[in-house]
Amino acid sequence: MTGLTGTVLPFPGQPAAQIAFGRDELQRILDLYGRMVAAGQWRDYAMDFTRDAALFDAFRRAAERPQTRIEKRPSLRGKQGMWTLYGEQGQVLKRGHELGGILAPVERRLLKAVDA
């Protein structure tokens, strides 16, 4: 076993590595999800992790298409940014390099005008 110290070898027969959300990214997304559930906007979510992208879909009802999709695609990091926010019809609502900027349009839905 000389020469293999510190080397990580893939397990034979395993699929290629997949893209995933980091712990802090997932915490931020799930925090927003919890606030949207409390506001009655979302009821369910789904996550998908592939070789190319990590996806978080939020649903108003479980039987319909997602109301919002947050996508992390690292291959676009050098171009328009690896984060994308999609709307219910599949339209791109926002792209960017930072997760916070992508979540801002959704977080604005939670703001309510308060009379002083």
Mean pLDDT over 68-93 rounds to 90
| Band of pLDDT at residue 113, cut at 50, 70 and 90 | very low
Is the pLDDT confidence value at 61 over 60? Answer: yes
What torsion, rounded to 10 degrees, do the Cα atoms 32, 33, 38, 44 define? 170
Q: How far is the C-alpha of 92 from the C-alpha of 105, rounded, in Å?
A: 12
Q: Report pTM.
A: 0.77
